[in-house]
Amino acid sequence: MEIDVLVFEIGSTTTVVNAFVDMYTDKPKFIGQGQAPTSVLLGDVTLGLNEAINDLKENLNEKELNIKETFATSSAAGGLRMTVHGLVYDMTVKAAQNAALGAGANIHLITSGILSPFEIKKITNINPNIILIAGGVDYGEKNTALNNAYEIAKLQLNVPVIYAGNCVNQDEIKAIFTEYQQESFLSLTDNVYPKIDDLNVEPTRKIIQAVFERHIIHAKGMEKVREIINSHIIPTPGAVMQAAKILEKSLNDLIVFDVGGATTDLHSVTSGSEEVSKVLVSPEPIAKRTVEGDLGLYVNHQNIVKMIGVDKLIADLMITKAELDYLLANYEAIPRTKQVPLVERLTKAALSIALDRHCGRYRNLYGALGRVKVAEGKDLTNVKYIIGTGGALTRLPQRKEILQAIIRKQDPTKLMPSEHSEILIDNDYIMASLGVISLKYPEQALKLMYNSFRM
C-alpha cells in the first residue's frame, strides 16, 4: 500500500504513527494509526518505530507499506530540556521563557541576573539539550548577558546555546564561545525583548526548533532516528503550537487544551481585545504556551485528587469512600469503564486549574489619582474556539461537556474565554502530527484538522 506521509509521535512511553494518503492533492486523507512502546531507553528508538509500523499494518490489513515521506514529533529522551537565562524576570527572562515554551521546551531552570556558582552547577547537573541566553534591550545593559555567556561557554558542555539578547553583544558573544572552542554550538538571533514592552519571540522559537531538529539525534537512544525520518522532526508541544497557529489564521482567536498523563498544556493564539489592551500593564505574546507539570492524569493524578479534596470527589462522583479508594488503588493509564467517571472529574479539575493559571486578570491599583483598574497576563476574552486534544480530550465520552463546563464558570475578574466560545475536538488525535506536517504542507494539514474536528 502506498503511504504518502507517515508521522511518528515519539513519546516518553508510547510511540504512535499516523498515516496519510492523497497528500499531493486537495483532498488529503488520514487512514490509520498504529502504536507501540517507545524504545528510547533500550538505546535504539527504531525498535519502537518499527513495532508501531507493524501495528499500523495490522490495523490497515496490509502486509507491506510503501512510505514516501516520514515526519516526527518527539518528547522522548526527556523531551526538549532547556535552561533560560535573562536579566530582569518580568522583562527579558519572561520573554525568553515564552519563546522556549512556545517552541515545545521543558524548562528545567530559569535565572535572572548574573549566574551564581550554585546556578552554574545546576546547569551542569541538568545537562540541557539547549541553553537560551537573553538580557538587555537593544543598545541597553550589556554586562549580565556577557557574564552569563562567559560562564556557560567556560563549562564546555558541547550543547547548543542560543543568544537572543542585546544586539550589540553579538560579536563579543561569538568571541567568548570561540575562546572555549564552543563556537560551533552557538546560534545568534534577534533580541526577544528589543525594547521596553516589545516582545519578539518568534525568531527565537524558530531557532529553537531548528536547533532541536539538528541535535536530537545526539540524545540517548535517538541516534538512529534519521534512518527512518526523512523530513522534519520537532518537539511534540511545539508541533501542537504550530497547528494552533495555522488554525488561528483560518478560524480566529483560539486556545488548545492538551491533557496528558504527566502534564496539562494550554496553548493560546490570540491578540486579545482592544478594550483590555488599553489597560494591560505588560506585553504578552500572541502565541503562548503554559505547561502544568503537576496536572498529569496518570503520573500526577494524586495531585489533582488532593486539589479537589476527597470529600468533594466522593460527593461529585456519588460513590463511597471505599469505592474511591478501590479506584485509586487500581488506577490505570488507560481507564477501564468503572474508572472513566473518576478520570473525567480529574480532567475537569486539571483543565480548570490550567486555564486559571494561563489567563490574565484585572486588578486595582491605588495611587494619588485614586483607584485605577489594570489588566495583567494573557487576555483570552476574544477567543472564539476552544480545542481539545491529547488522550483524555479525544477519547473520554464526556470530553465536550467537560470543556463546556470549564468556560461556563465565568469570573468577571479574569480574562477568560466567553461561555459562547465554540468547542472543537481533535477526534482523530492527530493535531501534533498535523503541526509538523504543516511545515511542508500547510494547506493539506489545515484540511485534515477540519476533518478531525468533523467541521
pLDDT at residue 221 in the model: 66
One-letter identity of residue 270: T
HEC assignment per residue over the chain? CEEEEEEEEECCCEEEEEEEECCCCCCCEEEEEEEEECCHHHCCHHHHHHHHHHHHHHHHCCCCCEEEEEEEEECCCCCEEEEEEECCHHHHHHHHHHHHHHCCEEEEEEEECCCCHHHHHHHHHHCCCEEEECCCCCCCCCHHHHHHHHHHHHHCCCCCEEECCCHHHHHHHHHHHHHCCCHHHEEECCCCCCECCECCCHHHHHHHHHHHHHHHHHCCCCCCHHHHCCCCEEEHHHHHHHHHHHHHHHCCCEEEEEECCCCEEEEEECCCCHHHHCCECCCCCCEEEEEECCCCCCCCHHHHHHHHCHHHHHHHHCCCHHHHHHHHHCCCCCCCHHHHHHHHHHHHHHHHHHHHHHECEEEEEEECCEEEEEEECECCCCCCEEEEEHHHHHHCCCHHHHHHHHHHCCCCCECCCCCCCEEEECCCCCHHHHHHHCCCCHHHHHHHHHHHCCC
What would be the CATH architecture of the domain defined by 2-77+219-231?
Answer: 2-Layer Sandwich (3.30)
pLDDT digits (tens, 9 = 90+) for 269-298: 999 999 999 999 888 999 999 999 889 898
Domain boundaries, the chain: 2-77+219-231, 80-218, 250-427
pLDDT at residue 76 in the model: 67
* CATH 3.30.720 is held by the domain 250-427: no
pTM of the model: 0.88
- Sites in the chain below the pLDDT cut of 70: 76-79, 216-221
80-218 in CATH: which number? Answer: 3.40.50.280
Question: Residue 162: which region, alpha, beta or left (left: phi > 0; alpha: psi -120 to 50)?
Answer: beta
Residues 285 and 204 sit within 8 Å (Cβ to Cβ): no
Fold matches, 80-218 and 250-427: no
The whole-angstrom separation of Cα 399 and Cα 76 is 27
